[in-house]
Chains A and B, each alone.
Chain A
Amino acid sequence: DAKTTQPPSMDCAEGRAANLPCNHSTISGNEYVYWYRQIHSQGPQYIIHGLKNNETNEMASLIITEDRKSSTLILPHATLRDTAVYYCIAHKHGSSNTGKLIFGQGTTLQVKP
């Protein structure tokens, strides 16, 4: 799986959009971009994933650049409960690989009142 690079920390005001960037310049054509988050003292939680099209679900939106070298996770209206470490992971599915995630250091998002 390709290496990803994220800023170590970010702040966001409650109610505003949180935009979390991720660089994955060496991503291969069959690697998906996955986002997980880990709230303090809990296991990681899936947020969203995509290949090349932008994706949206009830939690977030994922914007992937046309060259797929970077992406942005958007939490449209951040709340205090969104304070967590956010992990961007480039993951290639395969019979022995699917679900086997390689975590980087992630971004610690602090949502402030």
Chain B
Amino acid sequence: SAVISQKPSRDICQRGTSLTIQCQVDSQVTMMFWYRQQPGQSLTLIATANQGSEATYESGFVIDKFPISRPNLTFSTLTVSNMSPEDSSIYLCSVAQGGPPNTEAFFGQGTRLTVV
């Protein structure tokens, strides 16, 4: 299994500022995933981050708003830029381990962001 640490666990930020969320995994993984969970809602995939290449964003998410770095096989960051209250959500990092068909996804505890 993979152990994922996210920092910070929570933050309260002023609108117009940016926050960078860190995700550290205890083993090397090819792909890391970033999700958003708005209040009372399910998880929505933001992007897939591969080491050595640009992140792939899902429909409705753009690099200017959510830039992602993936400098090595155990670490990634997600930045929420120019924040507004609508960005208040839980942001989660995930990795997949085990080859198909026995792949499992592991998640961090999430970063609870409140924008005021």
Contact = CB atoms under 8 A, between A and B. Distances in A.
Interface stretch (A12-20, A41-49, A60-68): A41-49
Interface string A83-113: 0010100000100101111111110000000
Interface in A44-75: 44-46, 49, 51
Contacts of A106: 42
Contacts of B96: 98-100
B5 to A, nearest CB: 11
Contact of B44 (A45, A93, A98, A103): A103
A103 B4 CA distance: 20
**Majority-rule SS of A interface residues:** loop
B103 A99 contact: yes
Contacts of A103: 35, 42-44
Interface range on chain A: under 10, 10 to 19, 20 to 34, or 35 or more?
A: 20 to 34
Interface in B22-45: 31, 33, 35, 41-45
A48 B110 CA distance: 22
Interface of A: 32, 36, 41-46, 49, 51, 85, 87, 93, 96, 98-106
B48 A46 contact: no
Contacts of A99: 31, 33, 94-96, 103, 105
29 contacts: A36-B105, A42-B109, A43-B94, A43-B110, A44-B43, A44-B92, A44-B105, A45-B107, A46-B104, A49-B101, A85-B42, A93-B103, A96-B48, A98-B96, A98-B103, A99-B31, A99-B94, A99-B95, A99-B96, A100-B31, A100-B48, A101-B43, A101-B94, A101-B105, A103-B42, A103-B44, A104-B42, A105-B41, A106-B42
